[in-house]
Amino acid sequence: MRILGIDIGGTNIDVVLYDGDFHSKGSFPTKEAFSSGINEFIGRIVEETGASAVGIGAAVWYKNNKPVYSPNLPSLPEISLDLPTAVENDANCFAVYAHHVFDFPNLLAITVGTGIGSGIVVNGELYRGDGFAGEIGHWFVGGSALCSCGGRGHLEAYFGGRALKKYGNVKELVSSGKIYSLREFEMFCIVIANAVKLLDSAIVLGGRLGMNLDLKKVREVVYRYMEKFEPAIVAMKDELAVAKGACLVCLKALSES
């Protein structure tokens, strides 16, 4: 079985092939893939790799298994392929892979890239609710800043790659340590603390921005708002984690079909 794992993110599309091991097949600009047609783009990679199934993690909101909105993609992707396909929210795919790697029975997996996504694992199983569970990037944190989803005052309107560009180069913001003095970073950590109080779970950070945050700084601020409880906070330093999780989601769907 050769499963293609595809992470359709707001900026990049990452691709891996799973045949018992994971193999990177490249990273591609999202806008270019959409301009040529997302199904045609995926079809070409399927042909090149000889994949027999596809798992897709997309930056899309799902409700009752139906795609309803995509704040950070050029358009809502309508996936139609001539081979077995499993499509899941990208942060949920990240959560599945985080559980696979760290084996926390209960975890909140948070991706910080272009925007902020999150997925929940409870007792070893992905928790979706009716599909929208875990979207902490769109929790209201105050103010009137416009979010990519059209709402105002959401966490993603303040923290994440797109929001932080107002301060200049985001990589430099992180590498210099300036990000940790921002009010937006504290807002992010407060949301984590509140989420842990609700879920009583470990935290796994990922995404191109999230995995490069200083965990000591994150813990310092989160624990400030946790009183006597200090949850595990770790980082998944793997830019392909969502694509790998998409493979695992597809593998499970095939085993249950």
Confidence of residue 10 (pLDDT cuts 50, 70, 90): confident
210/226 same-domain check: yes
Instruction: Give the structural domain span for 33.
Output: 3-89+242-256
- The DSSP call for residue 167 is G
77/186 same-domain check: no
138/154 same-domain check: yes
66/126 same-domain check: no
Confidence of residue 71 (pLDDT cuts 50, 70, 90): confident
224/103 same-domain check: yes
How far is residue 155's CA from residue 136's CA, in Å, rounded to a whole number?
A: 7
219/249 same-domain check: no
User: Domain containing 8 — which CATH number?
Assistant: 3.30.420.40
The pair of structure tokens assigned to 241 is 């984690």
Instruction: Give the three-class secondary structure for 124.
Output: coil
154/34 same-domain check: no
210/105 same-domain check: yes
190/147 same-domain check: yes
How far is residue 34's CA from residue 19's CA, in Å, rounded to a whole number?
A: 27
Per residue in 13-55, pLDDT tens? 999 999 999 999 999 999 999 998 999 999 999 999 999 999 9
The pair of structure tokens assigned to 140 is 């209201």
Per residue in 120-137, pLDDT tens? 999 999 999 988 898 999
How far is residue 58's CA from residue 141's CA, in Å, rounded to a whole number?
A: 25
Q: Is the pLDDT of residue 78 over 90?
A: no
107/210 same-domain check: yes
Average pLDDT, the chain: 94
47/104 same-domain check: no
How far is residue 157's CA from residue 177's CA, in Å, rounded to a whole number?
A: 21
Structurally, the chain folds into a number of domains equal to 2
| b/e 198-218 (16+ beta carbons within 10 angstroms → b) | ebebbbbbbbbbbbbbeeeeb
pTM of the predicted structure, to 2 decimals = 0.94
220/191 same-domain check: yes
pLDDT for position 131: 84
Per residue in 163-220, pLDDT tens? 999 999 999 999 999 999 999 999 999 999 999 999 999 999 999 999 999 999 999 9
Q: Containing H/E element for 255?
A: helix 241-256
How far is residue 216's CA from residue 221's CA, in Å, rounded to a whole number?
A: 9
pLDDT for position 255: 93
